[in-house]
A and B are shown apart, each in its own frame.
Chain A
Amino acid sequence: MNKPEPIKTQDQPLQLYAKREPVFNRRIDGKFRRIKWAIMVACLAIYWVTPWLRWNRGPYSPDQAVLIDLAHRRFYMFGIEIWPHEFYFVAGLLIMAGIGLFLVTSAVGRAWCGYACPQTVWTDLFQHVDRLIDGDRNARFRLYKAPWGPAKIARRLLKWGIYLAISFATGGAWIFYFADAPTLHHEFWTGTAAPVAYGTVLVLTLTTFVLGGFMREQVCIYMCPWPRIQTAMLDEKSLTVTYKDWRGEKRGSLKKAQKNPGEYGDCIDCNQCVAVCPTGIDIREGPQIGCITCGLCIDACDRVMAETGRPRGLIDYATLEDADNEKAGHPATRHLKLIWRPRTVLYFVVWAGIGLGLLFMLGTRIHTDLTVAKDRNPPYILMSDGSVRNAYTLRLRNMEGRPRAMEIGLEGLPAARIWSEDMDRSDAARTLRRTVAADETQALRVYVVAPEGTANQDFDFTLQAIGQAREHDEAKAQFDARGDE
């Protein structure tokens, strides 16, 4: 049988490296397996379906619901459009995701690892492929031990072929988030897509194939930093999958227990908890880095307990504190109650605060923006009539999906006039009107001329979308003149 005892090397010479002990996890059905199925289906569906959802944004913007348009530097998510200078929204989401992991860890332990992590989801998917092609635990173990022959080769090739197909679908779907999915799909198969698309698909296909198909739990144990971080975050109130040794020990088979009633605990040492474990650990050794807390051993043990007529929950989600309480004969705390502790509440308040802040900013932001860059060399130009000219590069941002007329104006510098490089100085005025194309930034070099004797001073450029009172922006600028040379 496959018992993971990889590093107990007392009877062997000192080893420099350890071979992976393959995991052949047995099929199990139960409450947590069904939750795992549901989350897996939801995650994969979201991943594969999202790029194909459409969202009408009018004739000037893409109609893909979720699109990270790197080429044009736009991020679309349903009704929300993020420009590069608004990237703090994305940063905010990432911070929320980070704090969200803390929050989940503090509330329900390593639930992310057990249910939602892509490594877990795809490993689970590939393990179902193993089961489909090679059979359940024992059949797979036999095939593993069997010498290589035509039948084994055929089965392996078939299995790896399916791995590769899933990996390709995984890597292939990724690129659709970065370009119009139907167009890119067509281009991809006609060989006209950008090389980076093929490269991305190749890399993601290979990483999925290797990490999901072969590395599996080794990613969690050796490569991923998150389990290591979580070991620092778990405390006596964290939910972990716990083997209740005070109830289970001393282990003994049913026969032994019948012979000597009272000597043995509830654990009948059937090893079902080990057999179903997707990472191949023995939960009875206590909490460990390899446990992703997926709960499949709970399903297995509950079934055995039901068959032997013992109460469920010999292996169960429990906290270290619960363990102490239960050992002392007190009832366990209800899991919902665990959430109401300062740490979890604090994480939630921070997490929700950032979320509400982002929502508020999203709701109140305007879609008109003005930035000014002054020409610094030369700072000013003396004109032949004695007046002084300064030059500025304005950037007019129209963040709506339609062309809009906008008026540029001056606040301050009472005698000054502006004109731009695309017009004549004789048409200079206090305001300029320009139509800015839909969803674009227009750079406009403008000249501000003020009469002889105007002093150095600050003033504001204003930008007002015509007919939209709220769509107004201002930008500070400096006017340089000769001074008192």
Chain B
Amino acid sequence: MADTPQSPAAAGRRFDEATQTETVGHEWDGIEELNTPLPRWWLWTFYACIVFAIGYTIAYPAWPGIHSATKGVLGWNSREELKTETDVAAAARAKAVAGLADLPIEQLPQHPELMRAAVAGGAAAFKVNCVQCHGAGAAGSKGYPNLNDDDWLWGGDLKTIETTLIHGIRQPGDDETRQSMMPNFGTDGLLDAGQISDVASYVLSLSGKEKPSGATQRGAKVFAENCAVCHGPQAKGTREMGAPNLSDAIWLDGGTKADLVAQITHPHHGVMPAWGTRLDPVTIKMLAAYVHSLGGGEEFKAADAAPAPEAEASAASVE
């Protein structure tokens, strides 16, 4: 294999002077391409890839037919893979789910790990079931309560939130649903327009939005006779009846005088479905834990003791 001078057999074939390598025989503006042979290992790699590709199409679904493709001898399919993965995820959740199923929600705060799992699960369930009304950030809107704040219509401890979730609010057909029915003071003729305007002024004066005047004094009398039964003598609300606190800064159905007059004349009554018929008990516990964790959750004793902080479950903001 020593240097061989150009042999006669090479006649008609072109060789590069510097490297003595044969060229492919074409020429573009004086530029020619060397025909350097591939290294053999490269060829082997190429053949190995072809063999792999053939094996792959046999092992996995590949060749299309008229109605379906070949199944592949390994029997792999993406639906099975998804099922395997969801099964694994379910198995990973199983311990927390079982723990939550057995645990009364009142005892949840004593189990920080279950609580964390419940809040995380609740956040996911909230995004599927609750955001349509309460919003992605659970901040609600006019007529739909904000769940982040410290103002609760029916109470803000874990057990009460769970009950509200299970039976809903004004859900027809549920005997234990939260019921509160403010009369149609205007449209049913219980109060005349002047009285309604006066009592609205009085209610606004409780949170400093209106200055005391003749109207608020007249309104105070109307309030004592018609409203104090449910909303309480100080208008701080009554949770047993779902009557909102009218002396705070939060207004479910709007806090302007026009909003109040409209509400007194013909009240808007929000409805929440009884989720107990739609979701399993563990998911409901998770949702209760999540809502409780949003920053306004109450301790159990607070609900029993103080008669004070009740009222509309928030939203407010329209001025």
Q: A17-B38, A375-B137, A482-B317 are in contact. Are A384 and B151 (CB under 8 A)?
A: yes
Chain A CB within 10 Å — which of B2, B245, B295 has the most?
A: B295
Contacts of A384 in B (CB 8 A): 149-151, 245, 248-250, 309, 311, 314
Q: Are B36 and A7 in contact, with the CB atoms below 8 A?
A: yes
What are the interface flags for A1-41 relative to B under an 8 Å C-beta threshold, 1 for contact and 0 otherwise? 00101011111001111111000000000000000000000
Contacts of B39 in A (CB 8 A): 17-18, 20, 218, 222
Size category of the B interface is: 35 or more
**What separation, in Å, do the CA atoms of A375 and B43 have in the docked complex?**
59
- Residue of B22, B41, B42, B317 near A10 (CB, 8 A) is B22
Judged by a CB distance under 8 angstroms, whether A466 is at the interface is no
Judged by a CB distance under 8 angstroms, whether B35 is at the interface is yes
Judged by a CB distance under 8 angstroms, whether B1 is at the interface is yes
Nearest-neighbour CB distance to chain B for A141, whole angstroms, equals 13
**What separation, in Å, do the CA atoms of A40 and B38 have in the docked complex?**
32
Nearest-neighbour CB distance to chain B for A237, whole angstroms, equals 24
Contacts of A20 in B (CB 8 A): 39-41
What are the interface flags for B180-222 relative to A under an 8 Å C-beta threshold, 1 for contact and 0 otherwise? 0000000000000000000000000001000000000000000
Judged by a CB distance under 8 angstroms, whether B15 is at the interface is yes
Contacts of B43 in A (CB 8 A): 17
Judged by a CB distance under 8 angstroms, whether B163 is at the interface is no
Q: Are A215 and B1 in contact, with the CB atoms below 8 A?
A: no
**What separation, in Å, do the CA atoms of A432 and B214 have in the docked complex?**
48
Q: A9-B21, A11-B10, A381-B295 are in contact. Are A222 and B42 (CB under 8 A)?
A: yes
B residues 274-319 with Cβ under 8 Å of A?
Answer: 293, 295, 299, 309, 311, 314, 316-319
Nearest-neighbour CB distance to chain B for A437, whole angstroms, equals 15
**What separation, in Å, do the CA atoms of A18 and B43 have in the docked complex?**
9
Judged by a CB distance under 8 angstroms, whether A452 is at the interface is yes
Chain A contacts to B: CB under 8 angstroms? 3, 5, 7-11, 14-20, 215, 218, 222, 375-378, 381-386, 389, 391, 421, 424-425, 447, 452, 482, 485
Judged by a CB distance under 8 angstroms, whether B110 is at the interface is no
What are the interface flags for B37-49 relative to A under an 8 Å C-beta threshold, 1 for contact and 0 otherwise? 1111111000000
- Residue of B2, B249, B299 near A385 (CB, 8 A) is B249
Contacts of A485 in B (CB 8 A): 317-319
**What separation, in Å, do the CA atoms of A421 and B296 have in the docked complex?**
10
Judged by a CB distance under 8 angstroms, whether B129 is at the interface is no
New A-B pairs, 15, CB < 8 Å, besides A14-B13, A377-B135, A381-B149: A8-B4, A10-B13, A11-B7, A17-B43, A20-B41, A222-B42, A377-B136, A377-B137, A377-B139, A384-B249, A384-B250, A384-B311, A389-B149, A424-B299, A485-B319
Chain B contacts to A: CB under 8 angstroms? 1-4, 6-7, 9-10, 13, 15, 19-22, 35-43, 135-139, 146, 148-151, 207, 245, 248-250, 293, 295, 299, 309, 311, 314, 316-319
- When C-beta atoms are compared, the residue in chain A nearest to B248 turns out to be A384
Q: A10-B7, A17-B38, A222-B39 are in contact. Are A381 and B293 (CB under 8 A)?
A: no
Nearest-neighbour CB distance to chain A for B149, whole angstroms, equals 5
**What separation, in Å, do the CA atoms of A287 and B12 have in the docked complex?**
31
Q: Are B38 and A18 in contact, with the CB atoms below 8 A?
A: yes
Q: Are A385 and B295 in contact, with the CB atoms below 8 A?
A: no
Contacts of B40 in A (CB 8 A): 17-20
Q: Are A11 and B9 in contact, with the CB atoms below 8 A?
A: yes
Nearest-neighbour CB distance to chain A for B169, whole angstroms, equals 20
**What separation, in Å, do the CA atoms of A421 and B314 have in the docked complex?**
20
- When C-beta atoms are compared, the residue in chain A nearest to B251 turns out to be A382
Q: Are B20 and A8 in contact, with the CB atoms below 8 A?
A: yes
Q: Are A8 and B21 in contact, with the CB atoms below 8 A?
A: yes
**What separation, in Å, do the CA atoms of A5 and B40 have in the docked complex?**
15
Q: A17-B37, A391-B295, A421-B295 are in contact. Are A378 and B148 (CB under 8 A)?
A: yes
Contacts of B13 in A (CB 8 A): 10, 14
Name 22 interchain pairs, CB-CB below 8 A, sorted by A: A5-B1, A8-B1, A8-B4, A10-B7, A17-B37, A17-B40, A17-B43, A18-B37, A20-B39, A375-B137, A378-B137, A381-B149, A383-B149, A383-B151, A383-B249, A384-B245, A384-B311, A386-B207, A386-B249, A389-B149, A424-B299, A482-B317
